[in-house]
Amino acid sequence: MSEGGLHVHGPHDHAVEHAAQSGDSLASRIAVMTAILATVGAVVGYQGGSTQNEAMLFKNEAVLKKTEASNQWAYYQAKSNKQNLAELALALAPAAKQEFYQQEVERYKKEKNEIKVVAETLEAASSHANESSEAAMHPHHRLAQALTMIQVAISLASITVLTRKKWLFVAALASAAAGGAMWLSTFFIH
């Protein structure tokens, strides 16, 4: 409303006022249904984005753990190379140096075992994060389908107002019901 008490209505405002004043029950029902569907659609869209973000975070964690595991396996390989060199030196060394190289071989074996445990733990963590990502992404697909059905319902309802075809309103209700069912199924299916 402006300061002088004059309010300018847009074309949409006139159509809504006309429908409300004319007692058009179909238009009123569609207006209420569209408002409810838009609200539900916003919630479904938020949930879909949230599940997608959660899945990406788990996937990032999986990649990080896999990279750390790869680094550990490279370190393990380096220790294997040093162990092999120590074993070669042991075979070629004079008797006085053999005890030193035997201790080096044993030290590298011990270090490799410790590194292997760390690498395997990191690989397991990567696999777990990948599984968590897949689990988080599963409801995202259902939420995207639900949102699509809700958007189709809103579109059909809008066309119903223009065409006055009640079968379109029934189709809109069916699409809304399908979208709602898909949305609710995400709470029960993991």
- The pLDDT, as a whole number, for residue 72 is 96
* Angstrom distances, CA of residue 77 to CA of 25, 61, 81: 77, 24, 6
Radius of gyration of the chain measured on its C-alpha atoms: 33
How does DSSP assign 126-145, residue by residue?
Answer: HHHHHHHHHHHHHHHHHHHH
pLDDT at 26: 79
pLDDT at residue number 76 = 95
Spell out, as residue ranges, where the chain has pLDDT lower than 70: 1-24, 190
pLDDT of residue 4: 57
Query: Quick one: pLDDT at residue 1?
Result: 46
Q: Whole-number mean pLDDT of the chain? A: 87
What does the pLDDT read at residue 165? 87
What whole-number distance in Å separates Cα of residue 82 and Cα of residue 76? Answer: 10
Write the single-letter amino acid at 89: A
Q: In terms of C-beta density within 10 A (0-12 exposed, 13-18 middle, 19 or more buried), how is residue 34 classed?
A: buried
What pLDDT score does 186 carry?
86
Per-residue pLDDT reduced to its tens digit, 60-74: 999 999 999 999 999
Phi and psi based region of residue 24 (left: phi greater than 0; alpha: psi -120 to 50; beta: remaining) = beta
